[in-house]
Amino acid sequence: MSRNADVRTELLSVIERYVQFASTVKPFTSPGATAQYMLLVRSCNAFSAAVSLCMNGFFVESYNSARVGLEAGWLSLVLRRNAEKAFEWLTLVPSDTSMEAAEKRYRDTFGSPAWIRKEVSPEGKEQRDNLYEVLSKKSHANVAATFFV
């Protein structure tokens, strides 16, 4: 078996475990469970896209999908623990430019990767920040995004 086949098998195995975990969440039983399920599905889809891109040689392009997968996964953990925030996340879809207090608060929390990384857990925050920084640099149109590693 080639190294590529080994990596592919390992990545698909991780995605399969992710799907199995997401399938244990019962949506529509509570706001927290519904938000968690929706975000885990989004996260799993983003990671699957990242794997597909990598396996087809689009390494740089995979960074953004991986970043979205992490953001959605981390937010699912935050909302799982807080029914009030989960309900707010589920019921308010803000405009990107509105200055209304509720919409601005929404963007400053659920729309803020820094807030999500801080809220998910005090443990490991530095690692999350470092990983997110690498993925962000590779996800934007800058010189760092043109390198494969």
> Token pair for residue 93?
């879809």
Q: How confident is the model over 22-43, as pLDDT tens digits?
A: 888 898 999 999 999 999 999 9
- On the question of pLDDT at 18 being above 60, the answer is yes
Q: Tell me how crowded residue 138 is: count the other CB atoms within 10 A of its CB.
A: 22
Q: In the prediction, which pLDDT does 110 show?
A: 86
Could you tell me which of 59, 40, 68, 60 has the C-alpha nearest to residue 132? Answer: 68
Q: In the prediction, which pLDDT does 57 show?
A: 86
Q: The pTM is what?
A: 0.80
59 against 142, higher pLDDT: 59
- Determine the Cα–Cα distance for residues 53 and 71; give it in Å rounded to an integer: 18
The mean of the pLDDT values for the chain is: 84
Could you tell me which of 26, 62, 29 has the C-alpha nearest to residue 46? Answer: 62
User: Which pLDDT band, with edges at 50, 70 and 90, does 68 fall under?
Assistant: very high
Q: In the prediction, which pLDDT does 16 show?
A: 86
- On the question of pLDDT at 92 being above 60, the answer is yes
- On the question of pLDDT at 145 being above 70, the answer is no
> Token pair for residue 27?
């949506």
10 Å CB burial of residue 86 (0-12, 13-18, 19+) is buried
- On the question of pLDDT at 97 being above 60, the answer is yes
Give the 3-state secondary structure percentages of the chain, helix then strand then coil, rounded to 5: 75, 0, 25
Q: How far is CA 111 from CA 70, 71, 81, 93, in A?
A: 13, 10, 18, 10
Q: In the prediction, which pLDDT does 147 show?
A: 64
As a whole number, mean pLDDT of residues 78-101 equals: 82
Weakest mean pLDDT among 26-40, 75-89, 104-118 = 104-118
